Structure 1
């Protein structure tokens, strides 16, 4: 792991991709000079924009790569104002002491409501009825239209979104089946399937709610669509790269899949107004939405508040609670002290060495907390405000040190 020396914290923040104004307001109130941009940035543009920036907020289209992190030594933390963090090189960020935060719960309800709306819309053939009406065609018929009550819903991925969807679907009278690679407890009357194949052969509607791990690339393709029951419905509101859209189009055109709703795509425009390209365009029984599962005012406001607060807490107190790439630690502040935030390689004896250095320089410890996570260790130490630069130099010089910061606690 490379060593990152202490740098003065710069009160500058960059927010990309139309993050909710509440995030800007909260950061501004905390003393940050905030720059906002409505779109995602490519690697080179992001490197240029991060000069002098300590906090950056992104959504799903901006990628914080190892190269970006290496070119941004002032950067303290990345806020992913969304659920997923696969657009950030988490390991590279951790090696540089850059904490990454996301919003794993804030938009759950919004995604669930969209899924329910699309299931009902497809079951009632609303896209087709709507298109006919706009074309001047009056087609008052019940042919092919169904209630969702009594139908079997298969949820692939039984996390925060999958479980809440399960509850609401049951309240509508649906029978819920689910599959997850982890051992998840069924909620209500939901039935766990032992395999994906078992689920696909049992239900009439399949909805994907899997995470962005690399192993999910191409997770759902030709074989999975072929296993689905004839005239089933399909939804993907999770990650664009998990589904083979060519295979999906083929099964829709053949009539094997009766309808689909897709909110996420392998390649998405970086900003509004750019052309959207997809194999699924032009299919009347496919609902396409521009990655808006979590895009409600309520969800975006909650996300803006939640993630910006995490960024501020880390910058001002070193708190890493709910960080996705660093040991989670939060130590109550002791007024009138300075805090040492020490990220290091997780090897035995580091805490003893830190305290020996402090003791040799006559520095008293007012409060201290150590947390570890895999190969990382993280120590928060509150000390008096009188100490020499030699103390910091010795802590920086420790062979296991990754990043050392000093923070005034108040």
Structure 2
């Protein structure tokens, strides 16, 4: 199979992703770590797609240095490490893995709920120091308690299902209308959820509206002795306010997997106000770090990249118009990314008409900034004027990119 282009995978992405991409003809370089901005600017030259996790930052400077980049694959849920607006303006879609690690994170949430209720973290630390504390004081069942879920997306819904299986009552709050799973019930406000819940788990993205959404005021609203669990984004919780809530005894404990500032790698030093506080479980951003999740993410994102790079499908892109034209035999496919201004489709169709091209299928999707056109022409047309069509579309003043895929 001919080389379809070079792809750079960073941060020890599962090797199944590399195998998938290589099987489709791509040349893949797999690195174990993230790269600093200047080094990434050099390594990304000539690359058609880059894959990353949470530690790599795709800045406007990196995008400016990427002379052939067509797609970005985030092998995780979050995409805040990518300059999405700049990528959009440059006609580069970014894809993530919104489904593959949901079960792993949900299971960790249930584990931590039980750990906090039984104070297993403290007992474990004491046993390692040779201290034997056999006591039921402060240790409770979770059956019959109320779990409040903030953010009722893929992970939040799975947590709700598992919590009901444990015999918990489940409230949830989301800024969007969500269909309840099982007997989960919607709270009318975040304040109502905080006031009624024995345990609160957070599953929200990093946005300006979620920054410090759980601070001193919100912690004060929580039940005395309640527990807070965050495996979403580190900026969502005001850590000093949470530490104070633990120290005063207002909260019974917390489990935190994500932090406002995290070490760049495993050789970095971690420091937090939460260290050494009672009944606080700290984990190093491993909510989705299971073997099963990494395999699933590797397959999910690599397959998404393949569908885009080879067939032009952008369904699932987080910063790009979503469009997909069914694959069919006997045709050749163009993609055209352009500024979203009036008259572009007219100009493209004029070029096609003047070439007496036979259009077999066409789909257009737009957002506020750009338009994305996928167009199939007959095999006869492609043989006769395929390269000419692509070149003329590329020369339009509104064009961001024009590509003949096959």
- Category of TM-score, reference length = shorter chain: over 0.9
* Residue among 208, 215, 220 paired with 2:209: 215
Q: Which moves more between the two structures, 325-334 or 90-99?
A: 325-334
Q: Please state if 1:137 is matched with 2:135.
A: no
The two structures have a TM-score, normalised by structure 1, of 0.94
* Residue among 80, 93, 100 paired with 2:74: 80
Quick one: distance in 2 between partners of 1:29 and 1:405?
22
SS class of match (1:200):
helix
Q: How far did residue 329 of structure 1 move?
A: 1.5
Quick one: distance in 1 between partners of 2:86 and 2:128?
51
Corresponding residue of 1:381: 375
Moved over 6 A (4+): none
Q: What is the 5 A alignment of 1:75-154? A: 75-154=69-148
Corresponding residue of 2:273: 279
Residue ranges of structure 1 left out of the alignment (5+ in a row): 1-8
Q: What is the 5 A alignment of 1:181-200? A: 181-200=175-194
Corresponding residue of 1:5: none
Quick one: distance in 1 between partners of 2:149 and 2:66?
41
Contact 2:144 2:169 in 1 (8 A): yes
Q: How far did residue 99 of structure 1 move?
A: 1.2
Quick one: distance in 2 between partners of 1:103 and 1:214?
22
RMSD (CA atoms):
1.6
Contact 1:334 1:366 in 2 (8 A): no
Q: Deviations over 1:326-376 (max 9, x none)?
A: 111222334454321001123344223212101212222232222223332
Contact 2:321 2:366 in 1 (8 A): yes
Quick one: distance in 1 between partners of 2:187 and 2:126?
39
Quick one: distance in 2 between partners of 1:186 and 1:200?
18
Contact 1:10 1:74 in 2 (8 A): no
Contact 1:334 1:382 in 2 (8 A): no
Q: Which moves more between the two structures, 260-269 or 132-141?
A: 132-141
Quick one: distance in 1 between partners of 2:383 and 2:256?
56
Q: Which moves more between the two structures, 343-352 or 55-64?
A: 343-352
Corresponding residue of 2:345: 351
Contact 2:4 2:27 in 1 (8 A): no
Quick one: distance in 2 between partners of 1:354 and 1:173?
60
Quick one: distance in 2 between partners of 1:337 and 1:126?
62
Quick one: distance in 2 between partners of 1:340 and 1:114?
44
Q: How far did residue 123 of structure 1 move?
A: 0.4
Quick one: distance in 2 between partners of 1:73 and 1:88?
17
SS class of match (2:294):
helix
Q: What is the 5 A alignment of 1:34-53? A: 34-53=28-47
Q: Please state if 1:169 is matched with 2:163.
A: yes
Q: Which moves more between the two structures, 362-371 or 243-252?
A: 362-371
Quick one: distance in 1 between partners of 2:178 and 2:369?
28
Corresponding residue of 1:367: 361
Q: Please state if 1:322 is matched with 2:316.
A: yes
Corresponding residue of 2:50: 56
Residue ranges of structure 2 left out of the alignment (5+ in a row): none
Q: Please state if 1:393 is matched with 2:391.
A: yes
Corresponding residue of 1:32: 26
Aligned residues: 400
Q: Cα 1:123–1:348, aligned 2, differ >3 Å: closer, same or farther? A: same
Q: Deviations over 1:70-118 (max 9, x none)?
A: 1112111000001111111111111111111001111111100000000
Quick one: distance in 1 between partners of 2:68 and 2:276?
47
Q: Which moves more between the two structures, 383-392 or 350-359?
A: 383-392
Contact 2:11 2:53 in 1 (8 A): yes
The two structures have a TM-score, normalised by structure 2, of 0.94
Q: How far did residue 262 of structure 1 move?
A: 0.4
Q: Please state if 1:15 is matched with 2:9.
A: yes
Quick one: distance in 2 between partners of 1:12 and 1:379?
24
SS class of match (1:278):
coil
SS class of match (1:378):
strand
Quick one: distance in 2 between partners of 1:391 and 1:175?
61
SS class of match (2:405):
strand
